[in-house]
Structure 1
Amino acid sequence: MHQVKGVVARGKGQPVEVVTINVPDPGPGEALVKVQACGVCHTDLHYREGGINDDFPFLLGHEAAGVVEAVGPDVTGVAPGDFVVLNWRAVCGECRACKRGELQYCFNTHNATQKMTLEDGTELSPALGIGAFAEKTLVAAGQCTKVDPSARPAAVGLLGCGVMAGIGAAINTGEITRGRSIAVIGCGGVGVASIAGAALAGASPIIAVDIDPKKLEAAKRMGATHTVDSSKVDAVEEIKRICAETYDGADGADVVVEAVGRPETWKQAFYARDLAGTVVLVGVPTPDMKVPDLPLIDVFGRGGALKSSWYGDCLPSRDFPMLVDLYQQGRLDLDAFVTEEIGIGDIEAAFERMHHGDVLRSVVIL
C-alpha cells in the first residue's frame, strides 16, 4: 500500500481538496504509475460538477504521463521503468468490436480492479478510470502506452485525452485528407487539436470558429487558414463563403468538427457542411441537452454522415507513439498546448482560468 497526495472532489460543485489517498500494490493485470505530469481537462470539471455521474468522491485527473513503478504478476506489456502515457481505452480483445478488428471501438475497455481509497477506507472513483492528479495511481496495465522516454511529460501527457480527442476527431473520425475542407467550431484545447490534426493531414481551407479572439489566435498558430468570430458574423454563411471561394460550387465544409458540445453549435455544424459532408461531435454535452429541432427532410437531403467521436476514435497503442514521434520531429507542436505548469494545489485556480478562456491547458507537475 502506498500513501500519496491526490486531488479529490467530494461533492457536486464543492472545491477540490488535496488529501492523502491509499494506492494498493498492483494485482493481476494492473500497473502502479508514478505520475510526472497531468493536464487539467474540462472533463475533470465535468466530474466535479456532477456532469458525468454522481459516484463521489472522485479522484480527478486523467491526461497524464509518468513512469511505471510496479506491475502485477501476469503483466507483460509494460515493465517497471517504462515511460508511458495513460489512456482510458484499455482494449479487451474479446468483444465483438475487437474480434472484427476495430479495437478503437472496444465495447469492454477496462480499468484497475482494486480501488484506491481515502485514508478512512472510502473508495474513490478515478476520473476516466485513471485518477492522475496524484503522485501515484493504479491503472489497468493496458492503460499504459509506452512512448519515447526522451519526450517532455507535460506535453505528451496531453495525448491521454484532449489533444488525442481533437486530432482524432479530424483525422480518424472525420477522415480529413488533402483536398478537403474543414471547419472547427469551438477553439479550446480539443478544437485547436482538431485544427492541428487537419494541418497534419494537409486539409485546406482550415476554418476556426469561436467568439474569443485569444482562442482564434491560438487556432491560427496551430494551422487555421481562416478564422471566424461567430459573435460578429453568421458562422454558417461565413464558412460557406470561404469554402466556395476555394472550391467552386462548394456549399460548406467537407468536415465540420463541433468541439463545444452544445445543441446550438451542433446545429451550426449541421448546416455548415457541404452536401454529403460529415459532422463530427467531439464536444461533450451534458445529460440534459437535446438534439436541436431539425426538419427530417434536411437530414435526408444533405446526405453525408453525422458522427460522434469517442476519444478521437483512437487506438492508443497505434496513435500515441506515432504522434509522439511527430512531436519529436518538430511536426506537431504539443508544447504549444501547455499554457502553464502548476502545482497539485492549484487546480481550482486552473478551473477558473479555463472558464475565462485564458489557457489551452494548465498542466500539473508532480
Structure 2
Amino acid sequence: MRASGAAAPQAVLRRVEARPIGNGLMADTLLLALEWREGAGPASAVAKVPSTDEAAARTAASLGAYEREASFYLEFVGESDIDVPALLGVIESSTGAPTLLLEDLSALSARDQLEPVGLDVLEQMRAQLAALQAPFWGSARLAETPWLHRRLGVPIPGIVERMQGSWAKARDYLADGYDDEERAQIDRFVAGAGGWAERVGGPVSLVHHDYRIDNMLFGPDRVVVLDWQTVGWGAPMFDLAYAMATSLTPDTRAQVERDVVRTHVADLFARGVEFDEDEAWRAYREASFATLLMLVPPTGSVKRTERGDQVFRDLLRRGARIALDLGADEFLG
C-alpha cells in the first residue's frame, strides 16, 4: 500500500481483521479492517486471495487467472473510463499466485444474479462496456500482451473435451427442468464449441469475458465492474451478448436487444469507433453462445453450492434460449 500511495511512506500496520465477503467461484474475497500504528492508511480494504477450494484453485492456476487480474490492474486500468475498484497493492506469493488489495466499496450494493435488472441498470452496464472497448478497439497492443486471454478466433486446446466432461457430470442435475429444445441446444453447442470459437471473427477489443451482475457493484448512477480474472481480447459483442442473456428475462431481452445493439454502436461512434450496425447485429448473434461457453466448463470443476447450482441452472437456460431465439446454430458450422 505504501508503494501505491494508498498508505503514507512511514505507515506501519498494527492490526488486521478479516471476514469473507462475495460469492467468487475461483477466488476468495476478504474484507479487511486495518489499524495503523504510524502514518496514515486506509481504514479498510478488500483482499482477493487464491481460493481455499483445491479444485477451484487448480482451475484458476491452470488458466493463469490470478496473475491475469493483477496484470490488468497494473497495466491497463486508467486507460479507459470504465469504473473499477482502485488498486491499493499487490502481494506476491512464493506459489506465484498474487493477492490483490483493492479499494473497499462495501458501501455499494451487490445484486442477486438470479433477479433480472431493469432496463435503466442494463443501460448503465452497457455504457461501461463502451467505455472499456473504445480505447482498445483494434489495438495491436492486445495481441502483443502475452498474459491477455484470447478466447475466440483461435483454437482453444481441450475445450470440447472439457465441456463434454463437465456437461456429462452436470446435465442431469442442472437441466432436469429444461425443455427438450433447450437441452438439445446446449448439447449441440458442447459438441461444436471448438469450431465455433475458432471461426469467430470481426473487430477486436478488450473483453471482460464474465460480464454479469455477480461481478458488479451498484450505486446511484454507478456500476463498478469486478473480477478481471478472465480479461482478454477478442470479439467485443461477446460481453454485450453475455450481459443481455444473463441480466434480463428471455422475453425482455428478445424485445430490446436490437435497440440495445443500435445504442451500443452509436455510443462507440461517439467515442471515435466506427462499427457498422448490420455487422454489429451479426456479431451479436454470433456471440450469443457466450453464456454457454463461459458457464458450461466450470460446472464440472468448481465447488458445488446450492446457490452455485441455482445460478448455473438459470443462466445456462437463458444461454440456451438466446441462441435459440437468434438462430445462432448457423454459426456452429
Report the TM-score range of the alignment, normalised by the length of the smaller protein. Answer: under 0.3
* Structure number having the greater strand percentage: 1
* Structure number having the greater helix percentage: 2
Length-normalised TM-score, structure 1: 0.24
Length-normalised TM-score, structure 2: 0.25
